[in-house]
Amino acid sequence: MSDDRSEPAAPDAALDDEAMGDEVYQPPDYGTRDDPTDVDLDNALGQGDLDETLDEGYSPPEKPLAVNDYGTTAAEQRERETLDQRLAEEVPEVSEPAGNGIGDQPGMAGEPMAAELSGEDRAGRLVRADNETLRRTDGIAAADVGIDGGAAGAEEAAMHLAEDEQEEKAEDFGS
């Protein structure tokens, strides 16, 4: 007897990757898609609901802005501001005067050197001065006891020995 049923197609032809494309690996589309251009507050992440935003209300600024400025009325807008009025509204730019710091002049000509101001010798560990004559009323005098263990912190490494103005004056009068 003859069989009227047709032979099924070869399995390789039905599952060809080129024929299916990426559709095999994508989830089915159920009709709900996120629209990246949707800026509705109900869809915003990290924001309150639309109802909460409307309940908060609007708080106007504490002071009126530009009420006294020229051009707030229709007549002033037609007439326009004069140049003198515009210049009177300008705020001058205030800049720091040039040449008031160490090392800000080109070539360092005429500038005091940092070593002259701070001293060249590094201070060691600083302790309270034992000698009453070395103590000052402002509490910034200390005695250098030498480098302690060689592991100075950044604050200690920044300290340098400088001659005190009072000591220099006393030496000048004593000789």
Instruction: Place 79 in a pLDDT band, splitting at 50, 70 and 90.
Output: very high
What sections of 90-136 are H helices per DSSP?
114-118
Q: Report pLDDT digits (tens) over 112-136.
A: 555 555 566 777 777 777 766 656 6
Average pLDDT over residues 78-98: 85
pLDDT of residue 65: 77
Q: Report pLDDT digits (tens) over 154-170.
A: 777 777 776 666 555 55
Count how many domains the chain has: 1
Q: Let me know if residue 172 belongs to a domain.
A: no
User: For 80, left (φ over 0), alpha (ψ -120 to 50), or beta?
Assistant: left
Q: Let me know if residue 142 belongs to a domain.
A: yes
Q: Let me know if residue 82 belongs to a domain.
A: no
What is the rounded distance in angstroms from the CA atom of residue 175 to the CA atom of residue 169?
11
User: For 5, left (φ over 0), alpha (ψ -120 to 50), or beta?
Assistant: beta
Q: What is the dihedral of CA 131, 136, 141, 142, to 10 degrees?
A: 20
| Of the listed ranges 34-43, 51-60, 162-171, the one predicted with least confidence | 162-171
Q: Let me know if residue 38 belongs to a domain.
A: no
Q: What sign does the dihedral 46-52-56-57 (CA atoms) show?
A: positive
Q: Let me know if residue 151 belongs to a domain.
A: yes
pTM confidence score: 0.25
Q: Let me know if residue 144 belongs to a domain.
A: yes
Q: Which domain holds residue 152?
A: 120-161
Of 91 and 20, which is predicted with more confidence? Answer: 91
Q: Let me know if residue 47 belongs to a domain.
A: no
In the chain, DSSP assigns E strands to 126-128, 142-144
pLDDT of residue 89: 87
Q: Let me know if residue 13 belongs to a domain.
A: no
Question: What is the overall mean pLDDT for the chain?
Answer: 68
pLDDT of residue 9: 52
